[in-house]
Amino acid sequence: MRALIIGASHAGAQLCASLRQEGWDGEILLLGDEPGLPYHRPPLSKTYLSGKSTMDDLLIRPAEFYAKHDITFRVGRVASIDRHAHSVTLTDGEHISYDKLALCVGARPRQLPISGAELAGVHYLRDAADIEAIRSSVSAASRVAIIGAGYIGLETAASLRKLDVHVTVLESAERVLQRVTAPEVSAFYSRVHREEGVELRTGVAISAIEGDDHVRGVRLADGELIEADVVIIGIGVVPNTELAEAAGLAVDDGVIIDHHAVTSDPDIVAAGDCASHFMTRYDRQLRLESVPSAGEQAKVAAATMCGKDKTVTALPWFWSDQYELKLQIAGLNAGYDDVVLRGDPEAGRSFACFYFKDDDLIAADCVNRPQEFMFSRRAIGERVPVDKAQLASPDTALNELLKAALANRV
C-alpha cells in the first residue's frame, strides 16, 4: 500500500506525520517541488526576511523525523493524475502508482498584469527562493515599494523597516486590510506603520512599473512616479487546482472536499490552501489560507486514508506578526453588522475588535490580547451569547463573562 502526497507544504508535512499516527503501515511518499524539506512559510516575510532565522530554524520537522518514521521525501513535479490507473506522471515522464493520493499543492501568488512586472528587481513572495531573491535585491537598495496592503504586504513592510529600508506601500483600496478587517483595525495598522516610518498610500491606481533593465519606480495613474530600487507585489494568491481539474475532480475556487477531506474521488483527499469545504458554522463554502486550518484538514485527511471517521470542525483562526504586534484572529467576519472594541485602537498598541452579525459573535481581531483571543475562540465556536456592553468594559473578567453566558444558555 502506498500513500502518495503531492505537495511538501504545511498540510503535506502534517499529513505524512498523521498517517503514521493513525496507523498507516504502508509506504508514504511525499513529493515536493522545492529542494528542501517542508518548512514554515509564515516566518518568511517576518524573521527570515529580517535575518533573524535560518532555513534550519524554519523546518517543520528535522530530517531525522522522516527517516525514523520511514517517510520518503522526493523532489518532483507532477504533470498529471490518472485516476483510473491510480498513478501520477511526473514532468520528467516517470510514473508513480498510489493506493491513496493526497493533494496538498497550496496556492501561488496572484500575478499583477501590468507593464514592467517582468523587470529585474520586481518580486513576488511565496517561498524561500522568493525571499532569497528579495534579500539579495534589498541589500543594495535604498527604497522599496510594496504593492498591496494586505497582511503579506504589511508584514513585509515591517520586516524591511527593521532593516532600515525606506518603504512605500501602495494600495488601491481606500484603507489597508480593507477586505479583511473593520475600519477601526485598518486605522490602527495605518497609524502604527506610519509611526514606524512606512509611507502609506491608499486609494491609488498603478499604471506601470518602470525601468530599463532594472526597476526604477512605480508609475501611478495620476502620473506620479514612486521611486524604488525594489518592488514587491503582494496582491493575494490563487489556488493550485490545475491538476485536480485536469483529473476531473470537482473544483470551485479550490479542490472541493467534504467533512472528511475527501474529494469527488474516494481515493483522493485534499488539504490546505488548495482545498475548499463547506463550513457549517458560517453556512458557506470556504477556502481558507491558514496554517492551522491546513493542519486540521491534513489530520482529518490522514485519518480518512486510514479508514477512520474524523471530520473537519475546528473554528478557523489566523495570526499576523508586525513589529511587536501579535494579531490573533478567531473566526471569519464576513457579513458582520456591528463591532465592539475592548481597548482603544487610537492609543497604544493593544486592543480587541469583536465582530457581530445579528447579535451573534462571529469573529475577533485581537492585537496583543491573548486572553481575548482564547475567549473568542470558545465563544464563537460554541455560539455563546455575549453581552456587548460587558464585553467592551475593561473591568469585565472574560472568564466570568464566559461562565455566566454558558450558564444562561443552559
Is 403 in a helix, a strand, or coil?
Answer: helix
Q: Is 259 inside a domain boundary?
A: yes
Amino acid at 172: S
Same domain assignment for residues 193 and 278:
no
Same domain assignment for residues 25 and 128:
no
Query: pLDDT tens digits, residue range 73-105?
Result: 999 999 999 999 999 999 999 999 999 999 999
For residue 30, the model assigns a pLDDT of 98
Q: For residue 137, how far is the Cα from the chain centroid?
A: 24
Same domain assignment for residues 354 and 373:
yes
For residue 410, the model assigns a pLDDT of 57
Amino acid at 295: G
For residue 47, the model assigns a pLDDT of 85
Residue 392's CATH number: 3.30.390.30
Ranking 49-58, 237-246, 298-307, 341-350 by mean pLDDT, the lowest is 49-58
DSSP symbol at 280: G
Same domain assignment for residues 103 and 161:
no
Q: Is 116 inside a domain boundary?
A: no
Mean pLDDT of 238-258: 98
Same domain assignment for residues 252 and 329:
no
DSSP symbol at 180: T
Residue 315 CB: number of other CB atoms within 10 A? 21
All three cell numbers of 119, joined, read 523587470
Q: Is 315 inside a domain boundary?
A: no
Mean pLDDT of 239-255: 98
Same domain assignment for residues 93 and 175:
no
Distance CA(130)–CA(95), nearest Å, equals 30
The residue among 213, 233, 253 that closes a domain is 233
Q: Is 90 inside a domain boundary?
A: yes
Same domain assignment for residues 243 and 168:
no
- The beta strand positions in 257-324, using DSSP E, are 268-270, 275-279, 284-286, 317-322
Is pTM beyond 0.75? Reply is yes
Same domain assignment for residues 211 and 129:
yes
DSSP 101-136: EEE---EEEPP---TTTTSBTEEE-SSHHHHHHHHH
The residue among 215, 233, 251 that closes a domain is 233
DSSP symbol at 253: S
Distance CA(167)–CA(157), nearest Å, equals 6
Report how many domains make up the chain. Answer: 3
Distance CA(192)–CA(158), nearest Å, equals 10
The residue among 276, 305, 334 that closes a domain is 305
Q: Which ranges in 226-369 belong to alpha helices (H)?
A: 242-246, 291-305
Same domain assignment for residues 126 and 225:
yes
Residue 312 phi, psi dihedral angles, 5° rounding: -80, 110
Distance CA(293)–CA(400), nearest Å, equals 29
Same domain assignment for residues 104 and 131:
no
Q: Is 153 inside a domain boundary?
A: yes
pLDDT band at 407 (very low <50, low <70, confident <90, very high): confident
Residue 121: pLDDT over 70: yes
Distance CA(145)–CA(122), nearest Å, equals 10
Same domain assignment for residues 226 and 158:
yes
Q: Is 113 inside a domain boundary?
A: no
Mean pLDDT score of the chain, rounded to an integer? 95
**Which structural domain range is residue 223 located in?**
122-233
Distance CA(11)–CA(242), nearest Å, equals 18
Which has the closest alpha carbon to 103: 223, 231, 276? Answer: 276
Q: Is 76 inside a domain boundary?
A: yes
Residue 56's CATH number: 3.50.50.60
Query: pLDDT tens digits, residue range 163-220?
Result: 889 999 999 999 999 999 999 999 999 999 999 999 999 999 999 999 999 999 999 9
Residue 123: pLDDT over 70: yes
The angle at the Cα of 236, spanning 273 to 140, to the nearest 5 degrees, equals: 115
Residue 409: pLDDT over 80: no
Same domain assignment for residues 188 and 126:
yes
Mean pLDDT of 129-139: 91
